[in-house]
Structure 1
């Protein structure tokens, strides 16, 4: 990796070559909304990437899946119709079946916890922040490996609106509308609506249909800002999401042609409300708080045999369906010091977090032992309570020490239809310490150490299978322990005074203790699998990531992000006896890169080109199936005419088959259930046009 020293050289040189004169007038002012103090990106320690509406437009992104490929050391797994499972630096879950997952990478939308549900609708995106590395002090247990924080557009002082429509191949359509305004100086509102639909990219040759893996998604977001006094600001947030997607993604022939006679579904209907309060009348500190409520009902199921009755005498024909209900209430309150409230010249933050989440599952499946249709139900009640704080201590004009800590307790009450009733609880803690050298307003060098954590839990599927009496080896996998992650990081951030160069580089080394890995047991090589979460002894993840922006010419800008990652499993032997100790971890490609350019041909005509690449990676920690290395080419040309913008675009222009989920087992009776690598493929070549009107 000879290019790694040059990356540091670029960042360091750009940092120290900046002139301080008049820097305040030209400094890059990207405010990180997810930070406890909402500081500038260039003055905040940690590996954080920020994507704006313009960045999303560059690749014609319509969904979170389309955005994630441009981030260094970020990967995702579909496991459903959409990519809801995120991995950062090789850490993260890949799917959710019987057992409720504890996300290693969380998702926040306007501060509301959508972890495990994903993001639908990004047309009203104001800013997406990607926090890489353990972020326990900021976000708690759902940020072992990082956090995605999406902020959507809100009320404006004057009337603003936008209408957009997109047509693309595969009978794809997207309609979006946003409007915001203020009633008076105290009251403002915004409304955003979006509808996406597509036949999907699968042909079901048995049913002679091309829409069994379709997309049908609606999202609506409403905000009201109210300032009853000069010192008090209130914001009311309402979200509505209705996803009615098909799920028919895996093919016995290992291509985009399926044979399912009972295609599945991936439905999620969620509602969320939140109330934010900001009060600056205390004198010594500002008060920031949010109380939020979310409910989500999901229906996820698939044709388990991926085929039809009559395909072969040795066939089996079953389906698997998961009906889930989730409800949560979250409170997050904090005090942020003002200059009058500093402690010995140190800024501080003190916060309280409380959450209650209920998860109910009803699984409908074929019981192979009883040879009949069966069901399994479970209930999990989880409560979290945490206190957290952060202290920023100036050492002199340029040096500062930032230290933060979070102490969190969780308690689980689990029960299921197999008669299991288990209570779990644990005390966890996370911390971060960074030594920062602020070269000037536009350049920062930092050394960071952090500790993150993820809650343990119950393996309900393993308990149920063990209760059946045939898989007694699963008795030892009834529960799993919390995971701990330690991170040491060195980073440099710098931007030139005229913004011609912006560079951010971070190198990290992470230790994972009691790392949680997904295991599967298939004792008779038949259709019955038992999934469980296991604790491997340890793991190592280290590497480097960077983002650069170069203004090569007033009409030409170049954007480059890249990462190199090395991972290793600790002492890990599967129940099937496979020794995977020392192997690379799942969903951890050795390298990733994204190169993009903006060419302003004229004042009205713009051409965007991007190339994204990713190395091969293992699909699971329990088998050795791998994806393929790929390159993804995207292009867009747009024309601005007064308030109108017209664009033609293509994604995956080279029409690459890209795997986003993979399994290794036998499922085809035509070859005697010989094991194969079965992959779920991402979108093929997309071609579309978009028209938008802004007023």
Structure 2
């Protein structure tokens, strides 16, 4: 399999131009110091800018979030190259990077391919609620096993929220929008004295949602009702030791009524579902600089979450049709985790001939409990399925950065991780799984100047295997021999080869980043379904396809065309291929494109400073169609989103009128292909869940 010549040549030309512009800017204006890019990547071992770090990384600040009038992670992800998400719930909870990532989680516990960290706490699989207090958001693309482990097979989302400050700072904001929506948020931070400081952020977000239930005559069955609270307390214990306590609270009480038999935004459900999440988390972070040879960074974190997710399976009401059925499906999940991550980072880096090293240890204990309440078609009665999974992880990792010359550096990293699972369920299944996995990275970095980087990167990522509890239970109930072979699934491995160029003009008039990659997937995990009797009963399981290929290009540019006009252009091209994969029903999808992997995506945004107080922001985001699943051929539609914002700044006040999806496009964020409508004899259709339609709102904030 080869790169498209035209695409590859475009990447090389763009890369060389970026390096040339950057070097020219550095040599001609080397005395300018204030223009150097200073935003550092928080998720890396060391505080480096995105332009100094080998790999495809995007850094987003609070100002970038405000530009697009973003209120939730769903709306933020559309502007990133080669990033996609799926919903199947009230929010987009499952992320795909470069075409790799899960689309749902029902009975079986999964190891996400793309993880989520908030202030260093693992929220993978839970999603993100409030982002009003965001300080910085980072998207890592490609395997990041050395840094993040099994949750970063394809990438990682790392969010850092605002923390304590040396003096009193605060902000209060209110947003009102159509669909009876409002968002109320406030942040305050201060120093108690010379050693103690704190920050507090609160956010409440409410909306009726974008669905009309015609049977119940309601427009709030898919509503949003979310509260997020975060508190940080810092303590400078000694000159060398700083401690910080982080506390999170999330209370989400959302409805879930998203799929329509008529395949639009109107539903007929008589028992709308719910998507509730109640979580609390604590973390103790330590930073010790008292050692002569290294700095110690550490975090001990705890999270407890309970989820209540359910839906009306028939999407209709009793009396719709003589051939109808009426059932619900409900998943009650509890998750508790304790994680520890401590590392030593050398302090004598930067001198020619001296190596920069990192040595760390990671340990985690996670408990996943599930109670599923559903209709058992074999027993023809309501039934319950319960399972418990206890997983422990232990990992050692290291990274070494060795300067070869003044401009050339070799960076190598490795991580060795062991996981052990103990699984039990109400079908009397007891299974123990364990495996030892390893990840690595090797990059050769050439810096022609302080503001430019050319790199070659090879990396290896992994994700854990697991147990197919749903398949085991169905095999016992139905005596289906096909499912008995799907008791468990193996870990997946991802190999990545990448070439990239990053350049920044010293006056910041141009920032360009290009990455071309080729990835090999081994034992790739895919979601499979078996419909034994062609009725509403499905058995889901995770299967291992033989292999997969993902390759493409990502380009990010920021241009200051005029002192009053800035332009941001992000684009990606992606080609994917399933390896040898035949479904349990006998359908051969070998060689087909992978799910959630659009061929191209782009985001173009402009900031036009009309005056000292008035700014106009416009953004256009587009994405090609893609397959919704690896197990059927249903596809989304290609779409373009237009976002507009007119902002007025007056001293400490800021007022804005905005519109997201101003063209009112129907954007699919989850799709299935099967028959569920008795009115047409259960003829198979593509059923889609749609993202938000046109949104119009007003925002006001006061900063003090």
Shorter-normalised TM range: over 0.9
8 Å Cα contact 1:285/1:341 also seen in 2: no
Query: What is the 5 A alignment of 1:285-684?
Result: 285-339=294-348, 345-684=354-693
Alpha-carbon offset, residue 230 of structure 1: 0.8
Map Cα deviations across residues 290-333 of structure 1 (whole Å, 9 max, x no partner): 00000000000000000000000000000000000000000000
Residue number among 2, 7, 19 corresponding to 2:26 in the alignment: 19
Query: How far is 1:24 from its partner?
Result: 4.4
Residue aligning to 2:157? 148
How far off its partner does 1:5 sit? 4.6
> Is the Cα–Cα contact under 8 Å of residues 23 and 441 in structure 1 kept in the other structure?
no
CA positional deviation for 1:14: 2.4
5+ residue gaps, structure 2, are: 1-5
CA distance in 2, matches of 1:32, 1:502: 16
The CA deviation string for residues 350-400 of structure 1, in whole angstroms up to 9 with x for no partner, is: 000000000000000000000000000000000000000000000011000
Give the match for residue 200 of structure 2. 191
| From 683, 693, 700, the counterpart of 1:691 | 700
Q: Is the 8 A contact 1:14 1:503 kept in 2?
A: no
* Residues 406-429 of structure 1: per-residue CA shift (max 9 Å, x gap): 000000000000000000000000
Deviation at 1:40, TM superposition (A): 1.8
Contact 2:118/2:158 (CA < 8 Å) preserved in 1? yes
Question: d(CA) in 1 for partners of 2:476 and 2:362?
Answer: 37
Cα deviation for residue 342 of structure 1 reads 9.0
1:10 paired with 2:17, answer: yes
Structure 2 counterparts to residues 85-100 of structure 1, below 5 A: 85-100=94-109
How far does residue 10 in structure 1 lie from its aligned partner after superposition?
A: 3.4
> Separation in 1 of the partners of 2:48 and 2:648?
35
Alpha-carbon spacing, 1:234–1:343, altered in 2? closer, same or farther (3 Å): farther
* CA–CA distance in structure 2, aligned partners of residues 163 and 658 of structure 1: 32
Counterpart-to-counterpart distance in 2, 1:228 and 1:268: 36
Deviations 1:72-96 (A, max 9, x none): 0000000210001000000000001
1:452 alignment partner, SS class: strand
- Any residues of structure 2 matched to 1:150-189 within 5 Å, and which? 150-189=159-198
Compute the displacement of 1:101 (Å).
Answer: 1.3
CA distance change for structure 1 residues 350 and 343 in 2, over 3 Å: closer, same or farther?
Answer: farther
Structure 1 residue 467, shift from structure 2 partner = 0.6
Query: TM-score, with normalisation over the residues of structure 2?
Result: 0.98
Task: Tell me the residue number matched to 2:218.
Answer: 209
- State the distance in 2 between where 1:524 and 1:44 align: 53
Work out whether residues 18 and 496 of structure 1, in 8 Å CA contact, stay in contact via their aligned partners in 2. Answer: yes
2:130 corresponding residue in structure 1: 121
1:469 offset after TM fit, Å? 2.8
Q: Report how many residues are paired.
A: 695
1:83 to 55, 70, 92: 92
> What is the DSSP-based 3-state SS (H/G/I as helix, E as strand, rest coil) of the residue aligned with 1:11?
helix
Equivalent residues of 2:286, 2:297 under 8 A apart: yes
In 2: Cα distance, 1:692 partner to 1:89 partner: 36
- The whole-number CA distance in structure 1 between the counterparts of 2:17 and 2:686 is 42
CA contact (8 A) 1:298 1:323 kept: yes
Offset at residue 161 of structure 1 (A)? 0.3
Q: Distance in 2 between matches of 1:47 and 1:409?
A: 27
Report the Cα distance in structure 2 between the residues aligned to 1:282 and 1:39, rounded to whole angstroms.
Answer: 22
The alignment's C-alpha RMSD in Å is 1.2
Contact between 1:269 and 1:296, CA under 8 Å: does it hold in 2? yes
Please give the alpha-carbon distance, in whole angstroms, between the structure 2 residues aligned to 1:19 and 1:282.
36
3-state SS of 2:476 partner: helix
Could you tell me how far apart the structure 2 residues matched to 1:678 and 1:340 are?
55
Shift of 1:9: 3.9
**Residue 664 (structure 1) shift:** 0.1
Matched residues in 1 for 2:87 and 2:19: separation? Answer: 38
Q: Does 1:101 align with 2:110?
A: yes
**Shift of residue 8, structure 1, vs aligned partner:** 2.6
